[in-house]
Amino acid sequence: MKWIGGFSRVRWWSIVLKEFTQLKRDRLTFAMIVGIPIMQTALFGYAINTNPKHLDTAIVSADDTGITRSFIAALQNSSYFKVVATLPSEAAGREALAQGKVLFVINIPAGFTRQLLRHERPSLLIEADATDPTATGSALAAVSGIAQSVVQREITGPLASLASSPPPFDVRIHQLYNPDNITQYFVVPGLTGMVLTLTMVLMTGLAITRERERGTMENLLAMPVTPLEVMTGKLIPYIGIGLIQATIILLAARYVFQVPFFGNIGAVYLSALLFIAANLTVGITFSSLARNQLQAVQLGIFFFLPNIMLSGFMFPFKGMPGWAQAIGNLLPLTYFLRLIRGILLKGNGWADSWPNVWPMMVFTVLLMFVASITYRKTLD
């Protein structure tokens, strides 16, 4: 069969076959062909939830009565709130919010029930961590309906006169840290982490595999330079690049998006440095595993995908199922996002930051260990 210009089916088919044979040999590409759709389906299909439920809630109650208990029960029944702690004071509630241990604190003032019975319209206070408006939005929207239903269900008999509208008590909502629910406040600082993950892992991965692919690594090793000198020498420029990238995004956050900077900017940079270190160890490990630059890029993409989805960068972390949160908890980005958002938006200090600092340190040290083993193996 001949086409215009002499299209030969035999030749054409042999090209197709050759392409398949080569794809089959390249195991990592093959893994990507199969792995990416599976991974994406699992992540988008199961892990991501933009209407998160069962959000961690703490109770600070100075008035423990049937009515307050039934209000709390109603909140839980709405499936938006999950009471995980009972705290002694409002200050303890604030601390739990700052550290991101809970998203909501429900404060029930002393004498709430007494005032209610006296028709004095007492107030309940719900404090919400509004850094991520998507996470808290729907739960807060549900609150007033819940209050109404509690009144209708619980207040019967001689007290029925209370069940009038408007409800006999107020629910005041304090949206902390991002009261105007501006998404940019949440997303832009997080971008720092996203961009650093991408460039640090890819660039270091490439920098080292490039030397190996071009054969220059052998030449380096034949010179008196030590592996430690090669490794650290090669990484330093990327630390500088990472800090420049962080600066660009932070400047944009401050002056273009008017993101409030409540915390210490020095602390932001220290966190960025630690985060860069964590990602560099990932890059080194990948560069030891990858046989060429293409594979280094592929490994980078494999790493990048769960980072976007499961770290809480785009989708509410608390809204994900347990397994997805467990994976997310293995990624340094998850901690860095909490750290930088905490410092910038909540003004978190050292004590509030520490719970997110040490996991990154552990990650870095562990991976440094893995990297040094895999790296040494490639030499001998």
State the nearest-atom distance from the C-beta of 231 to other proteins, in Å: 15
Other CB atoms within a 10 A radius of the CB of residue 299 amount to 23
Cis check for the bond before 166: say yes or no (omega within 30 of 0). yes
Instruction: Give the span between the Cα atoms of 48 and 314, in whole angstroms.
Output: 9
> What residues numbered 198-217 form the site for other proteins, per CB under 8 A?
214-216
Instruction: Give the span between the Cα atoms of 254 and 28, in whole angstroms.
Output: 41
Please name which of 144, 154, 126 lies closest in space to residue 55, comparing C-alpha atoms: 126
Pick between residue 225 and residue 301 the one whose CB is nearest to other proteins.
Answer: 225
Please name which of 132, 51, 46, 52 lies closest in space to residue 306, comparing C-alpha atoms: 46
State the nearest-atom distance from the C-beta of 219 to other proteins, in Å: 4
State the nearest-atom distance from the C-beta of 189 to other proteins, in Å: 36
State the nearest-atom distance from the C-beta of 42 to other proteins, in Å: 36
Q: Which residues pair with 175 in a beta bridge?
A: 128
State the nearest-atom distance from the C-beta of 216 to other proteins, in Å: 5
Pick between residue 27 and residue 69 the one whose CB is nearest to other proteins.
Answer: 27
376 binds other proteins, rule: CB under 8 A: no
Pick between residue 35 and residue 227 the one whose CB is nearest to other proteins.
Answer: 227
State the nearest-atom distance from the C-beta of 293 to other proteins, in Å: 14
Q: Which residues pair with 86 in a beta bridge?
A: 59
> What residues numbered 283-342 form the site for other proteins, per CB under 8 A?
none
Pick between residue 180 and residue 380 the one whose CB is nearest to other proteins.
Answer: 380
State the nearest-atom distance from the C-beta of 58 to other proteins, in Å: 58
State the nearest-atom distance from the C-beta of 341 to other proteins, in Å: 40
Pick between residue 212 and residue 318 the one whose CB is nearest to other proteins.
Answer: 212
Pick between residue 38 and residue 228 the one whose CB is nearest to other proteins.
Answer: 228
State the nearest-atom distance from the C-beta of 43 to other proteins, in Å: 38
| Residue count, binding to other proteins (CB under 8 A) | 12
Pick between residue 223 and residue 244 the one whose CB is nearest to other proteins.
Answer: 223
Pick between residue 66 and residue 215 the one whose CB is nearest to other proteins.
Answer: 215
Pick between residue 34 and residue 222 the one whose CB is nearest to other proteins.
Answer: 222
x/- mask, other proteins, residues 214-253, rule CB under 8 A, reads xxx-xxxxxxxx----------------------------
Which residues are near other proteins by CB under 8 A? 214-216, 218-225, 380
